[in-house]
Amino acid sequence: MATQTTVKRSPIVLIRTLVLIEAAAFVAYLAAVQLGNYKYEIYTRFQLLSQILSYQTAKFLLLSGAQLAITVYAFLQWYYESYVISPGTISHRWGVFFKKEKTIPLQKSMTLTLSSGPLGKRLNYGSIYIDNGAPHNSIALGDIQHPLEQRKIIERFAGQQSHHFGEEPDVSKLIIQEEHEHLEFKSTMRFDQRQKETSREMEKAVMKTVSAFLNSKGGILVIGVNDNQEIIGLRDDYETLPRKDSDGFENHFTQLFNKMIGPEFRHLVRIKFQGINDLEVCLVQVTTSSRPVYLKVDSNEHFYVRTGNVTTPLKLSEVEAYSRSRWPRRAAVS
């Protein structure tokens, strides 16, 4: 199965827009006729223009130029708008001069509504409305081609994760290694063992590592193992959660991830739990992202990468150069 599908809006949308432009141009022409000699008075105020071009020529160039500019803009707007369906997410991309993008997760519990008018049924186009039941978690695929087929693709990708993680690693083999570019250990996700209380800084440290793996070449974060490679388990973290088990742990991890990194990247992370020596540890397996990932903390955005066994922040002046090197195709498109 393909890793992603790009969906365009139906050409009918462009044709409909062009017809509206022609209708608007005709209305504008009728309005101009009603102005009578006032148009000529305005023209004569531009002395330089009146010396170069005749009144009829200037009028023709103004009307035809405006119509051409609006038509070209309408075409580019249609051309650059698309919907990208990937395992676990869907993105709406649009914009001519300023590129915009909205991404939401595809979940099994989402609501899919298909709408198609009489003309759409004959020409095989329509709209799909996706609602995940949360604020800002909805997308409308407006007037797309083959809506029934696209709905099946969306349903097939819902709740899936990207298939680039490889085999599930064995924690007993991981903990005999030293930390490196693709491996890091964390004692806990949120419990500060020194202060004996939950810590936002601990949560931030976990998400820093995950975002750095996303911006680099991926990696594995093992939670429940300290820097000395000693297994301490997840019991302390479990006790801080409403649901004191691995499900509660994963739910809290996802909430943090969606808030600090973004749900559009969640399919690039796989969480597994393994037991060893009667203790449970969490393996956070991260694949590389196809675009830059920023960590959001207190309304500020930070950019991290892996350099050796260290998570390194980049300055704003360094991010652009790194992005062009890391994602050259994306830089070429933008």
Which pLDDT tens digit goes with each residue over 219-269?
Answer: 999 999 988 889 999 999 999 999 999 999 999 999 999 999 998 888 889
Identify the residue with better confidence: 177 or 165. Answer: 177
pLDDT confidence band for 157 (50 / 70 / 90) = confident
Strand 219-223 and strand 183-186: the pairing is parallel
Identify the residue with better confidence: 210 or 40. Answer: 210
User: In the structure encoding, which two tokens stand for residue 5, read together?
Assistant: 């599908």
Please choose, from the candidates 191, 196, 222, the residue with its C-alpha nearest in 3D space to the C-alpha of residue 209: 222
Overall average pLDDT of the 310-322 stretch = 91
pLDDT confidence band for 211 (50 / 70 / 90) = very high
pLDDT confidence band for 1 (50 / 70 / 90) = very low
Q: What is the pLDDT of residue 141?
A: 92
Q: What is the pLDDT of residue 331?
A: 46
Report whether pLDDT(189) > 90. yes
Identify the residue with better confidence: 107 or 308. Answer: 308
Q: What is the pLDDT of residue 212?
A: 95
Segments of the chain assigned to CATH 3.30.950.30: 171-333
Report whether pLDDT(332) > 50. no
Q: Which residues of 60-87 are buried (b: 16+ CB within 10 A; e: fewer)?
A: eeeeeeebeebbeebeebbeebbbebbb
The answer for residues whose C-beta is within 8 angstroms of residue 314's C-beta and 6 or more apart is 303, 304, 305, 322
Overall average pLDDT of the 144-148 stretch = 91
User: In the structure encoding, which two tokens stand for residue 262, read together?
Assistant: 């973004």
The answer to whether 100 and 84 are in contact (CB under 8 A) is no
The answer for residues whose C-beta is within 8 angstroms of residue 249's C-beta and 6 or more apart is 189, 234, 237, 238, 241, 273, 282
Give the bridge partners for 4, in sequence order: none
Report whether pLDDT(333) > 50. no
Is the four-CA dihedral 132, 137, 138, 144 of positive or negative sign? Answer: negative
The answer to whether 85 and 153 are in contact (CB under 8 A) is yes
C-alpha 320 chain-centroid distance: 18
What is the rounded distance in angstroms from the CA atom of residue 81 to the CA atom of residue 6? 10
Indicate the DSSP class of residue 2.
-
Report whether pLDDT(311) > 90. yes
The answer to whether 9 and 143 are in contact (CB under 8 A) is yes
Report whether pLDDT(66) > 80. yes
Q: Which of 71-75, 152-156, 195-199 has the lowest mean pLDDT?
A: 152-156
Which CATH code, of 3.40.980.10, 2.40.30.10, 3.30.950.30, 3.20.20.140, is assigned to 171-333? 3.30.950.30
Overall average pLDDT of the 300-314 stretch = 93
Chain mean pLDDT for the chain: 85
Residue whose structure tokens are 């911006």: 215
SS3 content of the chain, % helix, strand, coil (to 5): 45, 25, 30
Q: What is the pLDDT of residue 239?
A: 94
